[in-house]
Structure 1
């Protein structure tokens, strides 16, 4: 398997323990590099910032689920288009961009989220 495809499969695998199984420490240990640069303004840099954020999400939103709709990989970057379901709240369409290091660990993350509206001007859906 090429490094690009390996990174894509690693990124997809990250989401089960991180979001859906509420085991962010396991996800961190398996998939995230020692250096972790975060661009989401609600999450601190580093492994501790990652862990703290996802433990809080686990406590505040039990049952939160992320479904990966599509994944695109190029060189050391993987982009995921995700459908996020937040219990008691809105559903979100999300784009996550991850950068990988030379040994296949996630070392940088960017994301954007958009609420899935109840009504749209077209019938195409966000997914």
Structure 2
């Protein structure tokens, strides 16, 4: 029989998906400090090369982004497995610039975000196929 100390609580993938969406939307729409306070763990590891590591660097980056009024985000899909959540979004920025993002968040055992990776691509004006990017 396994020792009780070796048991790990499984991640609540449904809650993690909901929390990743709420975190992303809150930060994207101008409340990064509140988003970090509610959804981020003790440490925050950032893999996006244009954002510094740690919670304060995240807050600073998204505070600067708040100056872009009129942006919107649509969550196309959210996928969770184990301690990871992947979000696929369609963003529209001022001037109708459109982007597709794919973000990955790692959650700790308390259901808090502790690590982030992402990739972003601008939607081109022309495509060689009739498929959307989402």
Shorter-chain TM-score bucket reads over 0.9
Q: 2 CA distance for matches of 1:37 and 1:14?
A: 15
Q: 2 CA distance for matches of 1:63 and 1:39?
A: 27
Task: Identify unmatched segments of 5+ residues in structure 1.
Answer: none
Look at both structures and tell me which one has the larger radius of gyration over its CA atoms.
2
Report deviation, 1:89.
Answer: 5.7
Residue number in structure 2 paired with 1:46 = 54
Residue number in structure 2 paired with 1:114 = 121
Residue number in structure 1 paired with 2:34 = 26
Q: TM-score scaled by structure 2?
A: 0.88
The number of equivalent residue pairs is: 124
Report deviation, 1:12.
Answer: 1.3
**Which of residues 45, 57, 63 is equivalent to 2:65?**
57
Three-state SS of the structure 1 residue aligned to 2:125 is: coil
Give per-residue Cα distances to partners, 1:79-110, cap 9 Å, x unaligned: 00000111126211110000000100100000
Aligned-residue CA RMSD (Å): 1.2
- Give runs of ≥4 in structure 1 deviating > 2 Å: none
Three-state SS of the structure 2 residue aligned to 1:80 is: strand
Report deviation, 1:64.
Answer: 2.0
Task: Identify unmatched segments of 5+ residues in structure 2.
Answer: 1-10
The equivalences for 1:71-82 within 5 A come to 71-82=78-89
Three-state SS of the structure 1 residue aligned to 2:42 is: strand
Q: TM-score scaled by structure 1?
A: 0.92
